Each structure stands twice: as C-alpha cells, then as structure tokens.
Amino acid sequence: ARRNFAYDTEAIRAKDVAHHVHPWTDFADFEKTGSMVVAEAEGATIYDSEGQGYLDGIGGLWCVNLGYGRDEIAQAMADQARRMVYYSSFGHHTSVPAAELAAKVTGLAPAGLNHVLFGTGGSMANDTAIRIVHFYFNRLGKPRKKKIITRHDGYHGSTYLAMSLTGVAFDHQGFDLVGEELIARISAPNCYRRPAGTTEAEFLDLLAGEFEAKVLELGPETVAAFIAEPIMGAGGVVVAPAGYHRRIWELCRKYEILYIADEVVTAFGRLGHFFASEAVFGMQPDILTCAKGFSSAYAPLSGTLISDAFHEVISVPQAPGALFTHGFTYSGHPVCCAAGLKTIEIMEREDICGHVRRVGPYFERRLKSLSDLPLVGDVRGSHFMLCVENVADKETKALLPGEVQIGKRIAAAAQARGVLVRPIAHLNVLSPPLILTEAQIDRMVETLRD
Ligand code: PLP
C-alpha cells in the first residue's frame, strides 16, 4: 500500500534526532539511521511520511487493539474535550465518563474486582498496586508484610519501582533498582528452556516448589504480594506450564499473599477475553492492572482494579483526617475515560473477543508452520500474542553468535517487505491489532518465512 504525502521527512528527522530523547533506544545507532516518521495509519496499516505502508504486526506496542483511524473514538474524545475537558477526581468530584467507565470495567473484570483506580500507563498501574498493597498491610497492623515476589524475565514497566519489579536482566543494565529489602525474584516459567528431561508437569512442580521455598525462606509474615503477567510479554512471550497460575494463586492463599495479575498486555481481548486471569487461567487475583488496550491506545489510560475485600480494608478511615494519599492529576481524565468507554463499546458491538477466539488458533497454527525452518527453535504464545524464537541449533537450543542481531535482522528484512514485527533480542514478537484478518495473517507469516 502507498499513499501520496507532502511531509518534509528530512526536516522532521533532523528535529527529532537533535531534540527528542527516544525511550528504550540505542542512541548511537539511532543517530546514524534516524527514525521512520510514522505519519498516518488506518486499520492494521501504518504509513511512513514518504507514503509507504506497512502491515503493523506490533499493534503500536501491543496496544492499538482496535486498529488505527477509528473515527468514533476520536469523536467521543473530541466531544468530551469540548463538553468538559478536565476536572480532578481527587476528593469529592468525578466526571461522567470516569464514573461510567469505573462501573463498566469492573463489571467485565474477574469476580470481586469491583473497584478501580485510574492512571495513564501500565507502570503507573503497577506502582499503584504496590503502594496500595503496602497501605493495606499497614492498615491491617502488619507493617512487616512488605516484600514482593516477582519473576526473572517478567516485565512490569519503567518507573523506578516498576522496573525494579521487572526481571529482565538486560533492562537493568546501567540503572539502579529498589533492593532486596522489597523485591525477591524467582524463575521464569519458560517451558522451552525448562531443565532437560523434565516433563511440563514436573516443571510445574519445580516452579511451585521454588515459590513456596522462597516464601518460607523470606518468612510468610514478610511477603505481601506476588506479581505476574498471565503470559510474559517483553520477557519473551513466555507461556507457563498448564495450571501454573492457579497453583501459585493457591499458594498465595495459603500464606496470605496477595496475587497481582499484570494484565497490561493480556486484558482487552489479546487472548480472546476482556481479562485472561479468570477466563483463561481459572483464578481470581486480588489486584489486576491493565492499560494499553483499555483505550486501544487512543489516549493514555490504565487501571488498578482491586477486590471488595481489599477495598473494605483500605477505605475504612482510621486516624481522624487520615487520607488515602495516592493518585495522579490525570487519574480518571475525562477524555481518556471517554476513549476507554468507546473502546469497550466497539469491542462488544464488533465482538472483538469472539474474533480473536476464532482467528487466534489459525494465527498460532500458521506461525507454527515456520517450525520446519532451521533457524526456528520455538513458536509460542496464544491468540494475538505470539513469538518466534530463533536459535543456532534446534537440538541444543544454543543461540547464534551476536544473538541480539538476529531478531533485528529479521525485523529489518520484514520491514523492507512491508511488514513490521518486533525484535526482542533473538526473538521476533507478534502482537498485531485484534482486527487482523486471515489474509493479513497469511501475508505476515509468508513474509517471515521469506
Ligand atoms: N506491564 C506489562 C506486562 C507491560 O508489557 C508493560 C509495557 O509494555 C507495562 C507493564 C508498562 O506499561 P507502560 O509502558 O504503559 O508504563
């Protein structure tokens, strides 16, 4: 696809390189090549400022779930901005869309998650979760119960605390983290790289055993919460062995540890349901965080959903005048909430979750057909959250020399053929808009094979 544009690409690039600090970017490399200026977009296709179209296999950043150019969402946001752009929801004010969205999203959420605190991104939602957990145990008179168990290769965001919860070692280089007094780490449930000779069921026993041993080592009276993505995203689309989340959740119950489900990627349809925790993994987290698909990326919007039991404890005033001193200027921003409401309305009307449940298995099957290639060690994931792991040797699973380059080289070669896939180290990740058709899936997979 091509369009005719009149953007001054060179001038835009020059300003960008000189002044724009890009997140998560290799500056030296970027200054040499500059950026692709993404100028316009429609459906599942983005266009650079020269008019070249690309099928977006990344969904922006696992977030443009309904695809680009949805007039209805733009209109709902514009209407709200004209009617009443902003008023704070601190204290005794609210807005129509904030109240409506709070009721709507908690109605769709797993049982008992009847309350939501809004924010503007996944990191903020996770920071909020940890702050509330600490507040909760302080209120219960258990000020020692503060540690958070997290997993190697989990990704929870990029604020100081969210990055400290994150377990991707590569992401930690050069920065400081919150220390061991707060964070403890356990293994990633990576079935592809599980100990040789173990079955998936044995691997599950090992992981559950490791979790319980960690709780006992730290002392259950010091462990406040466990945080996990239903399927690890940025850490390599890691699908845990069957029954993992339920098993860990039961152990959390045993030791009075709160389970925080980080559904920043998986909520709002990516796995074929509004939320994956209960519908796919059969458990009810105490706290659930979501962002990205919440507004289909039309506006910054996140939610930290909390259970009734939890809300009861944190909402009971104790010391006279004591406040719940947490929240942000843009918590419940009316324009963002209007985008969220319209997103959910469209998802329901177009049965986006049904589409993902129907087409997702086709996507998985088609991508798995690449397994015959000598480079492809593993194809994994679920529905619209998939990845290809590239290796040097399929038997030993050894990585290629200069392993990070292969993901980038494949992504660059696909881009030259009009398809965008995301490189993460030696992996290529696919998280396209949820509206993708079988024909678009075929094109993506054939491009990758090529
Ligand atoms: N949690 C998960 C599982 C994520 O994938 C991400 C971002 O990719 C985040 C949290 C952080 O979200 P944000 O970048 O909106 O702060």
- pLDDT by residue (tens digit) across 141-185? 999 999 999 999 999 999 999 999 999 999 999 999 998 899 999
Give residue 202 CA to ligand 1 midpoint distance, Å.
Answer: 31
Whether 411 is in the pocket of ligand 1, judged by its Cβ within 6 Å, is no
Question: Is pLDDT above 80 for 244?
Answer: yes
Whether 155 is in the pocket of ligand 1, judged by its Cβ within 6 Å, is yes
Whether 295 is in the pocket of ligand 1, judged by its Cβ within 6 Å, is no
- Rounded CA separation 419/413 (Å): 9
Whether 291 is in the pocket of ligand 1, judged by its Cβ within 6 Å, is yes
Whether 423 is in the pocket of ligand 1, judged by its Cβ within 6 Å, is no
Architecture in CATH for domain 73-349 = 3-Layer(aba) Sandwich (3.40)
* pLDDT band at 316; cut points 50, 70, 90: confident
Give residue 100 CA to ligand 1 midpoint distance, Å.
Answer: 25
What residue segments make up the domains of the chain, in order of their start? 73-349
What are the DSSP calls for 121-149, one per residue?
SHHHHHHHHHHHHHHHHHHTT-TT--EEE
pLDDT attached to residue 321: 64
Sheet containing strand 223-228, edge to edge, reads: 115-119, 302-306, 287-290, 258-262, 223-228, 147-151, 183-186
Which residue shows structure tokens 């995301």? 422
- Rounded CA separation 84/155 (Å): 36
Cβ atoms of 214 and 225 closer than 8 Å: no
Share of the chain above pLDDT 70, in %: 99
Give residue 121 CA to ligand 1 midpoint distance, Å.
Answer: 7
Atom of ligand 1 nearest to the CA of 229: 3
Which uninterrupted H or E stretch holds 292?
A: none
| Interval 397-420 mean pLDDT | 93
pLDDT attached to residue 281: 96
Whether 165 is in the pocket of ligand 1, judged by its Cβ within 6 Å, is no
What are the DSSP calls for 296-323, one per residue?
TTSS--EEEEE-HHHHHHHHS--STT--
Residue 32 tokens, joined: 């040499």
- Within 10 angstroms of residue 416's Cβ, the number of other Cβ atoms is 9
Is the dihedral angle over the CA atoms 190, 192, 193, 199 positive or is it negative? Answer: positive
| Interval 298-315 mean pLDDT | 94
Instruction: Share the mean pLDDT of the chain.
Output: 96
- Rounded CA separation 429/380 (Å): 10
pLDDT attached to residue 320: 65
pLDDT in tens, 101-123: 999 999 999 989 999 999 999 99
